[in-house]
Structure 1
C-alpha cells in the first residue's frame, strides 16, 4: 500500500495496513536545502527542491506543499512582516478602523499574489510524487482570515456586533472555497483548513458564528472530490466536538490537547484524528530517543484506527533532521524501536529560572507565554492584545513575551506552571489561557491589578 493509498483509504474510513505519517514540514523544508523561509515561500523552484528533499529524507505518507496562513491575507491588503526562519506574520489589518465587508470582486483569483507560484509548485509536486504521496493543500480558515483582516477588534465584535462577524465570515468563507477549488484543480488530495484562532473562543461562540461557515467549506471540498482536515492549534479541547459537527474527514491537533481524550470524541463521529508530537520540547530540542519515545507513547495511548501521527503544527525551521527521521522510524518499526528504548531515560536540562518577586512589584507586570508570536497566529493576536495595552498604558505597565521555542522559556513555563499556550499572566497570576481578550476587557483587567497593587 502506498502512502497516498494509506491516507486516502483512512480518510474514507477504510482499513489500512499501518498508521500514516504526515510531517508538516513548512519552512523547515527550506532548511534541508539551505534556503530561508522567504526563499521557499516566494520561489517555486526552491520550494519544489526543498519538498523533494522532505520526501527523500522523511518518507511521508502525506505532505503539505506550503504552510503559510498569510497568503490570502496578503492579497486582501494585510502588510506582512517577513522572517528568515518562520512564515511571515500579519503586520497590519485593513479593516481595523472600519466595519466594511469586502466585495466579492476582491476574492483572490488564481493570478493574484503568490497563488500562481504555489499552484505551479503543486502541479509539479503532483507530477513528481503524486502517485505515491498524498499531497495537502493548506488554506487559511474563515475565522483566522477574518481576524487577519479585522485585527484584535474581532474578539470585541463577537460580543458587541455578532452580525458584523457573521457577514465578514460569509466573505472569508467564499475566499476559503475559492482557494480550495484552486488547490484541488492543481491536484491536491487533501485540503486542510487551518484555523489556529478556533482555540481562542468558546463552544457557544463556535456554534453561533463558526459552525455554518466551516460546515460550508467542508461540504464544498467534498463536492469537489477532495478530502479534508480541520487543523487547529492551541488548546482547542473545548471545541473538538463542535469541530467534528462541521463534518470534516479529519481533525489535526497540537500538543495542548490530550490525544486520547480527543480521539474518544473524534471516534464517536467516525472522524480521523492527526497529531500531536510536541514541536519544541520534543522535535526541536529533544533527542532522537525523545522523539521515538513520544511516538511510541502516542501509539500506545490510543487505538490505531482513524489515526495519523504528525507534528502538532508547522515544524520549526531549525528542527534537527535526525529527529524527524526518528519519528518516521518509530511509526514504521514500532516494536524494534520499543526494544531500543528499554533503557531510555529522559534527561532534562538544568536551567535555573529566577521568578520575579511579584509581591514587591510597583506596577502591573504582563507576561505573555507564546509558542512564538511570529510563527503562531493565536500567539500573534494574544501578543497583539498585550502590545495594545502597552500602547495605552505606556510606562505604567511592563510587558514581556516568553517564546516556547527558547529553552529558557520552556524552563520558565515549568517554573510558573504554565500548561497552555498562549497564556497571559499579570503579576504572576494567570488571567487568560487560550482566550484572547478584547482591548477594553484587557485594559479593565490591568486597571484592577493596578488598584490591587496600590492597596
Structure 2
C-alpha cells in the first residue's frame, strides 16, 4: 500500500479499513506552547499563536492528529464563569456565575461564535485547517455535560448537590440539576457543530468529572450518560462522521455504557486494561490509548515508551478500530523524544492480523 496522509490514515482506522500503518494521536495541548516558546497566556487566548505552537510541535513529532485546545473553560466563560489568566498555568475557575443552583433557570446557552473563548477555538480550527490542508486530521476541543454543568456553581458544590439529590434528601434539587445538564448539553451540541463546520475531523467530548474515580457508575448512568447520548446523536444528525469520548480514570465498570453513548471512539486511560477494553467494547466502538502519560511519556525513556506503545498495539490493534494514543493530556514538559518514540512505533507497524 502506498503511504497515506495522516488524515486518510485516521479516517481509515476509524472505519476499520486497511491502512499503511497504525495511526497515532497523542493528546497534546500546552506541550505545544512549551515546545514553541510561546507564553502560555498567549497560547490560550490567541488562535494564531495556538496554531503556530501546534504546527511547531507537529513538525517535531509527526503525529496523525493535531488537537486544537488549551483548557476546560472556554465554553464556561460564555456562561459567565470568571477564570484565571496566567503564563504559569492554563485557566482555572475563580468564580462561577451562580451561588445557588436554584438560579440556574436565569442562565442562557452561550453563542459559540461570540461568547467566552469559543471564538478563539473556532478560529484556531479554521487556521489549522488552512495550514495543514488535507494532510493532517484535526481534533476539536470540547468539554462534557457533567463537567460543564459543574462549572456553573463550582465543582465541589455541584458534586454535593448531585449527592443530595441521589440520596433523596430534601435539600436536593433534582430539577435544577437536570436543567443545568440540559443547558450544558445544548451548549456542547452547538459548539461541536461549529467546530465541525470550522474544519475539525474528530469532535471531542471530555467529561472527566464523570470519571468513576469521582462518581459511582450509578451516578454516571443517571447524570452523565443520557446527556452524552444526546450530544453524540445531535452531532451525527449534523453530519459528523467521527467523535471521541474522553473520560479519565478507571472506567472498567462502565465501558459498556461508554460504547453505548454513540461516540465513534472511546479514549482509554492507562488505568484501564486495554485488553479488557478491546474484549468488552472493541467490536462496538473504536479505541484510543493508552500509553501512560506520567510513568512513560513524562518520566520514561524512548526505550520504555516504545515497549509500552508496542504492547498497546498488540493488545488492542487486532482487527483495526484502534489508534495509538496517550489516554490523557501529555504533560507540558514531557520529553519530545518520548512522544516521538510513541509515534515512530505506530508508523513502523501494520495493524496486527486477527
TM-score, normalised on structure 1? 0.70
**Largest Rg, 1 or 2:** 1
Determine whether 1:323 maps to 2:335: no
* Distance verdict in 2 for CA 1:154–1:104, change over 3 Å: closer
Determine whether 1:196 maps to 2:208: yes
Query: Within 2, Cα distance between the matches of 1:295 and 1:162?
Result: 44
Corresponding residue for residue 175 of structure 1: 187
Corresponding residue for residue 281 of structure 1: 295
Query: Within 1, Cα distance between the matches of 2:220 and 2:304?
Result: 36
Alpha-carbon deviation of 1:273? 0.7
Alpha-carbon deviation of 1:253? 2.1
For residue 267 of structure 1, the aligned residue among 282, 285, 289 is 282
CA contact (8 A) 2:182 2:227 kept: yes
For residue 185 of structure 1, the aligned residue among 172, 185, 197 is 197
Query: Within 2, Cα distance between the matches of 1:87 and 1:257?
Result: 27
Alpha-carbon deviation of 1:215? 0.8
Alpha-carbon deviation of 1:291? 1.1
Corresponding residue for residue 20 of structure 2: 17
Q: Name which structure has the greater RCO, CA cutoff 8 Å, separation 6+.
A: 2
Query: Within 2, Cα distance between the matches of 1:280 and 1:211?
Result: 28
The 5 Å alignment of 1:23-422 reads 23-103=26-106, 105-151=108-154, 152-158=156-162, 159=166, 160-199=172-211, 200-226=214-240, 227-268=242-283, 270-304=284-318, 305-334=320-349
* Distance verdict in 2 for CA 1:332–1:178, change over 3 Å: same
CA contact (8 A) 1:292 1:327 kept: yes
RMSD: 1.9
Query: Within 2, Cα distance between the matches of 1:295 and 1:278?
Result: 9
Q: Give the 3-state SS of the residue equivalent to 2:186 in structure 1.
A: helix
Structure 2 residue runs without a partner (length 5+): 167-171
Q: Give the 3-state SS of the residue equivalent to 1:295 in structure 2.
A: helix
Alpha-carbon deviation of 1:103? 4.8
Alpha-carbon deviation of 1:225? 1.8
* Distance verdict in 2 for CA 1:102–1:33, change over 3 Å: farther
* Distance verdict in 2 for CA 1:184–1:34, change over 3 Å: same
Structure 1 residue runs without a partner (length 5+): 336-455
CA contact (8 A) 1:254 1:276 kept: yes
CA contact (8 A) 1:85 1:317 kept: no
Alpha-carbon deviation of 1:18? 2.3
Alpha-carbon deviation of 1:257? 1.5
Query: Within 1, Cα distance between the matches of 2:39 and 2:265?
Result: 31
Query: Within 2, Cα distance between the matches of 1:74 and 1:292?
Result: 40
Aligned residue pairs total: 334
Query: Within 1, Cα distance between the matches of 2:249 and 2:230?
Result: 23
Which is further off, 62-71 or 99-108?
Answer: 99-108
CA contact (8 A) 1:202 1:239 kept: no
Alpha-carbon deviation of 1:106? 4.0
CA contact (8 A) 2:36 2:57 kept: no
